[in-house]
Structures are given as C-alpha cells and as structure tokens.
Structure 1
Amino acid sequence: MTDMKIDVTARWSGLVTRPAARLAGAGILALACLVSATAQTPAAPASSTTPAQQPTSAPSAQPATGQTPTGSPEEAAPTDPNIQTIRVSVNEVDLVFTVADKKGRFVTGLQQQNFGLLDDGRPPVKVRRFVQQTNLPLRVGIMLDTSSSIRSRFQFEQQAATDFLLQTLHPADRAFVEGFDVQTDVSQGFTNRIDMLDTGIRKLRPGGGTALFDSLYKTCRDEMLTLKQDFAVRKAIVLVSDGDDDYSRALESDAIKMCQRAETIVFTISTNVGPSKDKGDDVLQQIADATGGQAFYPTRMEDVATGFHNVEEELRSQYLLVYTPANFKRDGSFRTIYLQALDPRYAVRAKKGYFAPKDE
C-alpha cells in the first residue's frame, strides 16, 4: 500500500505469494456474502464485444504518457512549513482473474453475482468494482530460454515470439524482449515498435547453462517492479523454456514471490515435446499457477505459436474485481484469496493470496 498526499488517490493491489488452502465448509458462506454485497453495489455490465460497456477510466488513471515519472511526491511537495500534509491510505485489492469452461474456452459476460469470494477466510467488506477488461494496456515481457538445452528449438521460439507480438500489441501496449541462460540479456526494452522487438529477438543466441529462477527474479525486480505508469496497465511475462534450472542461486519460491510483488502474471510455454510431462514442466506449471497465469504444453515445436496465441486470447478475456477486505491489518501477513464461480461448469483462474503491506 502506498501512502499518498490527500489530493492524490492512494491505491494498493494485493500480491500473491503461495496457493491458498481450500477453506472447507466456507465456500457456500462466501458465495452468499458476495451476492449480498452485490445488492449494495450494483454489478457493472460486462461484455467482451461492446466497448461502451467498458469503464471510462481505470483505477488510478492518469494521463497516458508512457514514461516513468521522475521525482517522488515529497520532491514535488510545497516547501511552506505552514502547510500540513495529511496522508491517507486506502485498503483495496485489485483481483484480476479468468474464467473458462470445462473445454478450456474463455467465458465472458459474467456478472459480479456469479462469483463468491473469501479474503483470509472472510467475505469482503465491500465490492467496489467489477468489470470485464479486454482493452487495458499491456506491459508484456517476452523471456526466451537461450540456454544450450533448447538450442535445437530456438528458431521456433523466435518466430513464435514475433508472431505473438504482431497479433497482440495494440497502440497503447508496450513489450520488451529478453533472453536468458546463466545471465539475462534484455535485447530490446519496452517499446511498441514491432520492428525493434523483432530485431531484439533475432539478436539472441543460444548457449550456456540455465539460471531460470535467477532470471525470472531479476526480470520482475528490474523490469516490472520498477515500472511506473501514469495509468492502469496489465503486467505479464511470457516465459518460453523447458523449465530446467542448473545454475540459479535463487529458489523457485524466491522467483515466484518477486513476480507477485511486481503484480505480474506469468504465462509459461514449454519447449518439451513428448508424450508426458517432466520435472521442468512441473516447474513451469507451479510458476504459472502461483501468479494467476497458465502453462501451455505444445505437442510439437511447430505448435509453440499456439501457446502464444492462447496467451494473447487470455489477456483480452479477463475480469477485474476491486474490493475492500475485512479485518484488514497492515502487518505484512499473508492473506489467502478464494474465488469461485457459482456455476460448476466454470473454473476460475486467479492469484491465490497476497501479503498485506507493513507499516514502517
């Protein structure tokens, strides 16, 4: 949570850190409570095809400059000693999630009353906003495994990544390209220019060991956590790898935690092509699940592009639920999130919890 001056709206998004334990016996209560909250807070119409039904302004919306603001609020504050600054904190959790049917097809057009929610075992105090978001500007990182273990598959990674960017990037979106083996190589920083991104992809060369966890940790810390925008964006990483790691000092849990602190969804695309999953595939699944993303397993290298296409479709088929949690304490503790669709035909994919901010 960020404390801002009173003339600035302070917002904070919860961060996931580990899967939430299933709350036995509490699901029905949560569903009822959220429906009750709906009676007090009317649900916003949701539609993936009618732009007029999208929100006219996003949370914390400010002019879209696309640049990182310079200077802190304190630096911009008046220096008159007679002016008193009042700081106000607002406890709100922004929960982005996706709904799919049993065949894996994305479900759009649902309403707030179609879901039940528990935060740390309790229904929220208030649901402040519910909306389907298909056009929120994206900040996407393409992480391509350039270790020697994927040398024979690297060309497919490169072509699929370029095709993904061509299909996905809208004028307000930005992306960066990175290769990783024992080190990370950001060959192209955030830009909307496909030609520059494609050049960055073509610059990458495979070779060396694999430090997957170190690379993911560093990327989320340096590229996503420090990303400052004057408007709301959706942050995501598309990680293409076999999931192997033979060089990292960081643990898998360290990498996941940093992605969650950076409020970044991670989609993973496996380059393992075989009849069954291996240990690396399990790693990719765990990373995706913990951050609210999804893991894709192409059966042929030629199908890696299909994984990129599925990521693009999901990024444009998500919901946003903004709520005030009950019994909230700024103590740095972990709070679980349990979100469920009332209709048993639908499965919800969302992050599993977050760390509350801690007062200094």
Structure 2
Amino acid sequence: MTFAFCYPKTVTPWLILLAAVSPLALRVEVEPLGKGATSTVVAVAVQVAPEEREQLGPRVRFHVEFWKGSQKLDDGSGVGELAGDGSFLLYREWPSGEGLLRVEVSSLDGSKAGVVERKVVVPVLDKPFVAPEGAPPDATALAPSPPAEEAVRFARPRLGTVVGTVELTLEAPEDTGEVRFFQDNQLVVVKNRPPWQLSLSLGATPRRTVVRAEAWSRDGRLIGEDAVVLSGSENRLEVQILLREGKGQDQPTRVTVAVSPPGLEEEVVLRVDDRPVARWLSCPCVTELPAQALRSARILVAEARGGGREGEAVLAVGTGTLLETARVDVVELPVAVLDAAGRPVSDLRPEDFHVWEDGQPVVVDSLGRSEDLPVLLGLAVDVSGSMEKDFPLVRQAVGGFLADFLRPGDRFFLGTFSWEFSLLLPWGSEPRLAVDRLAGVRVEGGTSLHDAVIKALELFRGKKGPRGLVVITDGEDTTSRTGWDAALRYARTMRTPIFPVGIRVSVLDFVFRSRLSELAAATGGEAFFVGKPEDLPAVYRRIGEQLRQQYVVVYRSPASSAGDAFRQVTVKVQREGVTVRTIPGYFPSP
C-alpha cells in the first residue's frame, strides 16, 4: 500500500524526541481509506529508523492521539509488531477536518522513545471502507459487517392476548425443520413447523428472564441461534454473547451477539480481550473466530448502542480453553463498612443490609464475617527494573504482612511481575516461604501490570469465601499484551476486591493514580499511595483490617439466568455515618 502524507510537506517526516531516554527517530504517514460508520477510516503507517530496528527487537509500545482543538477524539495504546522494514500499521476512524495527530513509540523496556506530532487534514469520503484481505483485527472491526444471511433472529416481542403473557416470534430460514426454545437455559418447547412462535407467561411479578432459540435444519444441522431479554432494564440495551464451538479442535467458533430490545441497535462491536474483531450496524450479529484466537484469549466483550441506550456483555473464556457460562443463582458479595474515622464496623446484622440488583430489591439470605471464615489472599509484587532500589524493604514488608495477617485456615499465593507474571508460591499457608522465594528474584525488566492483574485474578476462579488481591507497583504499565480496558473489565467479572499499593508515585502522575483508584473502586477495594517503602507496614495493617472485617452478603440473583450483561449492585446499611464499600456490580461469567 502506498501512503500519501496528509500534512504540510514543508514539515520533515522524521522527528526525534529529546529526553532522558535515548531518542528514537520515527516516520509517520497517514492515508484516508474510506467512509466508516460515522466518520473517515484512515491508515496510520509508523516506521522506526532502519538503524534502530535491530536494537528494538520485534515489538514496540505505541500511543496515538487525535485532537480537534481542545477535544481529544482518539486515544489508543498497544503493542505493535514491527515488519522487516521497521514499520507497523494502525487503522483508526477520525472525523473530517483538520486535527492534531500525536504518535509516541517506545521500546518495551522504555530505554528508547520518540514522538511525532503534526497537523492532519481528514477528508470526507463517500466510498465505504472495506478491510483488505488479511487485514489485522482493528481494520476488520472498522469495516462494518453486514447482517448475517441465513441467520435467525427474534422479532420484537409483543404483548399476548392474555394479561401477563408475551408473544415471541423467531425469524428463521426456509429450510428450518425444528426450533428449540429455552427459558433461562431450561428447554421449554420444541416446534416442528412454522410459525416459530412462543407464548410465554411473565407471572404476576415480572422478572428478568432470557429466552433463547436454536434453529435446526431438516438434516440436523444447527442453522443459528438468538436470544432476547424480557423484563430487563429500561435504561440500557441488554446484550448476550452466544458461543457455538466447532466440531473439531481447530474448527472456528461461531459467535452470536444478541441485543435486546431487537431492532434498536445502531452499532455493535465485538472484542477479543481489548482487540476489536467485528462490528455491525444492525443484527443478526454473527461471526466466526479462529480456535487459536479464543484459546489465547481471556475475555470476549460485546458492546452495543442505539436508541439513546448502551449495553455491554463480558464473557470470561479463560486461558487455553473455553469456559462454559454457568447459571448464576447465588451471589456472594464482599462488603466493607467503615465508620467516620475509617475503621471497620463489625457489629452489623443481616437486617441492617439492604441490597438491590438492577434496581430490584433482594433478600439477604445470609451474612458472614471474614473474621469467622478462612480468608483467601493474593499478592502480586512488581519486580521491574525500577523497583531495584526499594525491593529489599518491599520484600521485608511482604514477609511481615503475611506473618502478622495469616491465621490457621487462611490461604495465600505469591506472584511477581516484570515482563511476565510468575507464580512464586501457589495456594498455601506458610508465610516464611514468601521471603525465601522473593530473595531469589531478579529485579529487572518492564512492567506488565495489566497482564499481572488478570493472571493473578485467574487464581481465584472457583474459590469461595472472603478474599482480596494486593498489587504492589511503582509505575504505570509499559509491556503488557493486554490493554487497560480489558484488564478492568476482567477485574469486574471476578468479584475479588483489589488493593493496589503505589510506591513513590508522583502526585502529578494523575493518569496512573486514577487508574489504580478506578481498579480499586470497581472491585470494592481501596488504593494506597506511599512515598517510601518504610510506610508499607501501616498500609498492610489497614488492608488486613479490611480483609479481616469484611462482610460476605449472600443472596439469590433475581435474574436467575446465565446472561452476560453487567448487573448493577447497590448496597446500603442502616447505620448513620458509615461508608459502604463493595463492587458496583458484576458480570456473571465466572
């Protein structure tokens, strides 16, 4: 592909960043490619100087921004795979007109960095953008996929002739010989001839319920499936992710994204981790994903917007194999209650708690306290090169924390991260081993914080009871394969409070501080920032108090389905002057 510059030719295409790190020469070219969903799709070609290619290795970090005036319209980061000539290609969608492009590229270890910043003129194009054959996922996702042909889809539900009932009609191809209707994953009825309709009673008290339909051909082949959510939220779109694995190990998996109410969707985007892989402007929304892509993925994300509403679904697919989404009936909610001085409140009773899920009040079935139950504790310690000076004190503080906190029956694991996450100690109960293992760790490399959060949380999968993950780091992520959005989404699926501890993080580093605080708030934990490692014992004591005085609120979800949509949770306590800290909601995937 030939790229034409979209900026004044009087500006040299090579720009060198002068900074404390070694400068990295860059060349950036931009070419408009076609009309996207709302604006213009452009290709951004980035090339490092030929003499730098061998020193950088096969991968670099990049950050791209596009500004119009004071408004930032694009902000993306990731890892680029360098071709033989030192280049990599990005596909973006920008509004027409003049704007400012800023591209920053750095080596994975941060030792070399360069920035290009200049004006770009984005034209208005009439020809729709079509992703070239073999294009990367970001290009494919910017080219809207047409609604799937020969697919199945629910028509918009309508009220039945009997009060309290709803009539559902499935639109299916002519060769359909059988349709199976499921309600909340339970088979309701099998139809052998059209019309493919189902009359369903909603009961005296409508509750959220998921109806799914499978259409089968006369020769026993699955044609497709769709789902619709009844009595869902009136303020957002309900999104479901339906997976159908191929018959062979290496056969692609069919993915159907179902949006309710049907017909309201204006844009639907499917992501594997944080990489967009498909995009539709109307449903049926069906695509196939390679088996290898899913084996290496951690989450699937589907986002939909339309009719002034938005919706999202997250499906945890694990690492290496797909995980079947389980029906979620019983929810264990970690709740911390603090008084005005920030001390845990420990004398509450079940009747003091009031809980709502998606706006519906629920009955608290039981209330446990972590001081009466074994606690699960995870520690992930940053051992990147920047931690070298502080690591001896960090290691000592970790050992002291475990020795003071753990009680008989408690279990913990210990992991470290730099370029990769390494599990030093699997689930166990002997704290003295932690100091010995940390003593043998080499402190070097980059900071893969996002990857570490995901891999550490995976160790909690399938475990019950009070728990918490403590993440100790001194700087922002530099080398993760996973983006921030994917890491945050995954954290919200696991219902495990995270306690990030930032060491020597500047008060001016607003982005990193806000991300650690966001990670804590999204999971019901608390973020801490210390100026020196000597302050860690006090922080550990506070974390220990919260973990030991944590409440476990148990209730039955009114949704009673295996849907993937985010479920908003609200908890209030009947006590004056207290602060309640818990997760703002959860994805039911685990």
Same fold by TM (over 0.5)?
A: yes
Equivalent in the alignment of 1:176: 413
Name the one with the larger helix percent: 1
The CA distance in 1 between the partners of 2:381 and 2:482, in whole Å, is 19
Shift, 1:289, TM fit: 1.2
TM-score, length-scaled by structure 2: 0.43
The code of the aligned residue for 1:148 comes to: G
Q: Which moved more, 1:96-105 or 1:349-358?
A: 349-358
Deviation at 1:104, TM superposition (A): 0.9
1:56-205 residue pairs with structure 2 within 5 A? 91-124=329-362, 126-205=363-442
1:267 aligns with 2:499: yes
Secondary structure at 1:294 match in 2: coil
- Whether the aligned pair in 1 keeps the contact of 2:375 and 2:411 (CA below 8 Å) is yes
CA distance in 2, matches of 1:189, 1:111: 35
Listed as ranges, the gaps of 5+ residues in structure 2 are 1-184, 186-234, 236-325
Aligned twin of 2:116: none
Of 446, 457, 460, which residue of structure 2 is paired with 1:224?
A: 460
Q: Is this contact kept in 2: 1:235–1:263, CA < 8 A?
A: no
Match of 2:14 in 1: none
Establish whether residue 280 from structure 1 lines up as the match of residue 512 from structure 2.
Answer: yes
1:100, distance to aligned residue in structure 2 (A): 0.5
CA distance in 2, matches of 1:346, 1:258: 29
Equivalent position of 1:64 in the other structure: none
Q: Report the secondary structure of 2:388's partner residue.
A: helix
- Aligned equivalents of 1:185, 1:354: Cα separation in 2: 27
2:569 matches 1:331: no
1:209-244: CA deviation from partner (whole Å, max 9, x where unpaired) = 1110012112222x222xx56xx4333211001241
- Whether the 8 Å CA contact 1:180–1:215 is kept in 2: the answer is yes
Give the drift of 1:144: 0.7
C-alpha deviations, 1:57-91, integer Å up to 9, x for none? xxxxxxxxxxxxxxxxxxxxxxxxxxxxxxx9671
Shift of 1:300: 3.2
Corresponding position: 1:318 with 2:555: no
* Alpha-carbon shift at residue 328 of structure 1 (Å): 4.0
Q: Which amino acid aligns with 1:102?
A: A
Cα distance in structure 1, aligned partners of 2:439 and 2:564: 43
Distance 1:278 1:89 in 2: 40
2:199 is matched with none
1 CA distance for matches of 2:502 and 2:333? 26
Gaps of 5+ in 1: 4-22, 24-87
Kindly indicate whether the alpha-carbon contact (under 8 Å) linking 2:378 and 2:413 is maintained by their aligned counterparts in 1: yes
Distance in 1, matches of 2:327 and 2:514, equals: 39
In 2, the alpha carbon distance for the partners of 1:242 and 1:129 equals 39
Letter in 2 for 1:235: R
Aligned residues of 1:160 and 1:304 also touching (Cα < 8 A): yes
SS in 1 for 2:333: strand
Distance 1:255 1:331 in 2: 21
Q: Output the amino acid matched with 2:499.
A: F
Distance of 2:403 and 2:422 partners within structure 1: 22
Change (3 A) 1:112 1:138: closer
Name the aligned partner's letter for residue 255 of structure 1: A
Distance 1:356 1:141, change over 3 A: closer
For 1:134, what is the secondary structure of its paired residue?
A: helix
Q: Does 1:291 align with 2:291?
A: no
**Distance in 2 between residues matched to 1:217 and 1:246, nearest whole Å:** 15
CA-to-aligned-CA distance 1:299-353 (integer Å, 9 cap, x gap):
4321011111111111110112111233544322211001122334101000111
More strand per residue: 1 or 2?
2
Which has the higher Rg, Structure 1 or Structure 2? Answer: 2
Flag the 1:285–1:94 CA change in 2: closer, same or farther, 3 A.
same
Q: CA deviation at 1:93?
A: 1.3
Asked if the contact 2:357/2:567 (under 8 Å) is kept, the reply is yes
Map 1:241-252 → 2, pairs under 5 A:
241-252=473-484
Q: Is the alpha carbon distance of 1:304 and 1:90 closer, same or farther for their aligned partners in structure 2, counting shifts above 3 Å?
A: closer
- Do the aligned residues in 2 keep the contact of 1:238 with 1:269 (CA within 8 Å)? yes
Partner Cα separation in structure 1 for residue 398 and residue 531 of structure 2: 17
**TM superposition outliers: structure 1 runs of 4+ over 6 Å:** none
Aligned equivalent of 1:75: none
TM-score by length of 1: 0.68
Residues 355, 364 of structure 2: 8 Å contact kept: no
Cα deviation for residue 275 of structure 1 reads 5.6
Quick one: percent identity of the two aligned structures?
27
Q: Distance in 2 between matches of 1:321 and 1:233?
A: 10
Q: Contact conserved, 1:298 with 1:306, CA < 8 A, in 2?
A: no
Q: Contact between 1:293 and 1:349, CA under 8 Å: does it hold in 2?
A: yes
Q: 2:348 and 2:360 mapped to 1: Cα distance? A: 23
Partners of 2:370 and 2:466 within 8 A in 1? no
- Does 92-101 or 266-275 show the bigger shift? 266-275
Whether the aligned pair in 2 keeps the contact of 1:177 and 1:200 (CA below 8 Å) is: no
Q: Distance in 2 between matches of 1:342 and 1:301?
A: 38
Aligned residues: 267
Q: Does the CA contact (< 8 Å) of 1:123 and 1:325 recur in 2?
A: no
Q: Is the 8 A contact 2:567 2:585 kept in 1?
A: yes
Indicate conservation of the 8 Å contact 2:399/2:432, yes or no. Answer: no
For 1:297, what is the secondary structure of its paired residue?
strand
Q: Distance in 2 between matches of 1:275 and 1:299?
A: 10
Deviation at 1:276, TM superposition (A): 6.0
For the Cα contact (< 8 Å) 2:333–2:552, is it kept in 1? Answer: yes
